[in-house]
Amino acid sequence: MTTIAVVGSGSWGTALGMVLADNGHDVRMWARRADQIEEMNTKKTNEKYLPEVTLPETMSGFTSLEEAVQPVEVVVLAVPVKAIREETKKLLEVSNRPLTIIHVSKGIEPGTQKRVSEMIEEEANGHANLHSVVVLSGPSHAEEVSRRQPTTVTVSSTNLESAQYAQDLFMNQNFRVYTHSDLVGVELGGALKNIIALVCGVTNGLGYGDNTKAAIMTRGLAEITRMGVKLGADPLTFSGLSGLGDLIVTCTSVHSRNFRAGRLIGQGLSLDDVLEQMGMAVEGVRTTQAAFEMANRFEVEMPITSAIYHVLFNGIKPEDAAGELMGRVKKHEEEKLTD
């Protein structure tokens, strides 16, 4: 039995806390809202984020980060990417032990174009309390994980032992965990697929069908792979759970927030109205901005990312963006990925 803190009690943090509790671990959930923690402790529910799910008895909630984190050496960091730096800093301040941070967030930071593990390392800045950083990623909607439906994910770290440690903590009969050595590829796949899911949602909102969705998913995977290879990832990683696997689930599931947000945009709602209506993390929006910057910086062709960027931030109509994508100059499908 290991004592583990989960920082962030939204849908994903709560579902992963349940997996850990099912495995016999003592799970200490942290959230900012006192009423949410009260509900988790007394009613054993988290209705806003995981309706109709009962939390295990061995999961307890804390509003004090210090109290949640003090006894632990491993933390699951489950906040939106925009909160990663702030929470990492606070976490390392209140902890007095060397921490293994298992992050589960999928996105890239606009402005810096950093992956989440890079943001954590940067905030730690050689802090003695950071032992290692692991990413957990793959096709895994919280709604299904919390109902103990068979799910597979990947963990990766520059420290293989830490990845194996995370694998042992999470692995059970319903939650199968693979290790992977390509940290860059695993993080990029999880982040960039959110952009493609947004676009699939937009095409759905425009009334287009499965041909269009398959086209966006396939050509989306091509541009994710192109960027990944440019940044040193193994192209094969993008055919794995954190690449193709997560792309499939996010572009086709009713649970996907990115898909649903995209659909509303395709139906003509403004980005602000969509984000207000969603009320949950829609990571693909900020990651579109970051990926657009990366495409320019590294001179990587990412036409789908560019199209959704102009829809989200430059007022281009979705149907006009679709027309532009279809009207691009003719191409050969196969391409050489290495320079």
Ligand X SMILES: O=C(CO)COP(=O)(O)O
Ligand Y SMILES: NC(=O)C1=CN([C@@H]2O[C@H](COP(=O)(O)OP(=O)(O)OC[C@H]3O[C@@H](n4cnc5c(N)ncnc54)[C@H](O)[C@@H]3O)[C@@H](O)[C@H]2O)C=CC1
Are 142 and 132 a contacting pair, CB within 8 Å? no
Q: How far apart are CA 67 and CA 112, in angstroms?
A: 32
63 or 252, CB closer to ligand X? 252
Q: How far apart are the first and last CA of the chain?
A: 48
Residues forming a β-bridge with 59: 27
Q: Which of 43, 44, 193, 230 is catalytic?
A: 193
**Member of 31, 65, 77, 274 binding ligand Y (CB under 6 A):** 31
Least gap, CB of 65 to ligand Y (angstroms): 9
Of the candidate spans 100-108, 198-206, 207-215, 224-232, the one that interacts with ligand Y by CB under 6 A turns out to be: 100-108
**Member of 10, 61, 107, 139 binding ligand X (CB under 6 A):** 139
Q: To the nearest 10°, the Cα dihedral for 171, 173, 178, 183? A: -50
Site for ligand X in 167-206 (CB under 6 A): 194, 197
Least gap, CB of 202 to ligand X (angstroms): 13
**Member of 23, 100, 105, 287 binding ligand Y (CB under 6 A):** 105
DSSP annotation of 244 reads I
Q: How far apart are CA 183 and CA 136, in angstroms?
A: 10
Are 153 and 136 a contacting pair, CB within 8 Å? yes
Smallest CA-to-CA distance from 60 within 14, 109, 118 is with 14
312 or 321, CB closer to ligand Y? 312
Of the candidate spans 54-62, 66-74, 139-147, 209-217, the one that interacts with ligand X by CB under 6 A turns out to be: 139-147
The entry of ligand Y, ligand X, none that residue 325 binds, CB within 5 to 8 Å by partner kind: none
**Member of 18, 79, 241, 265 binding ligand Y (CB under 6 A):** 79
The entry of ligand Y, ligand X, none that residue 65 binds, CB within 5 to 8 Å by partner kind: none
Rounded to 5°, angle at Cα 143 from 137 and 148: 85
Residues forming a β-bridge with 103: 77, 135
CA distances from 197 to 110, 155, 214, 301, 330 (A): 18, 22, 11, 18, 25
Instruction: Answer left, alpha or beta for residue 315, where phi above 0 means left and psi between -120 and 50 means alpha.
Output: left
Site for ligand X in 233-262 (CB under 6 A): 246, 249-250, 255-258
Site for ligand X in 60-119 (CB under 6 A): 106
Whether 82 is a known active-site residue: answer no
Residues annotated as binding site for sn-glycerol 3-phosphate?
106, 138, 140, 193, 246, 256-258
Q: Which residues are catalytic?
A: 193
Binding site for ligand X (CB under 6 A): 106, 139-141, 194, 197, 246, 249-250, 255-258, 283
Binding site for ligand Y (CB under 6 A): 8-13, 31-32, 49, 78-81, 83, 86-87, 104-107, 140-142, 280-281, 283
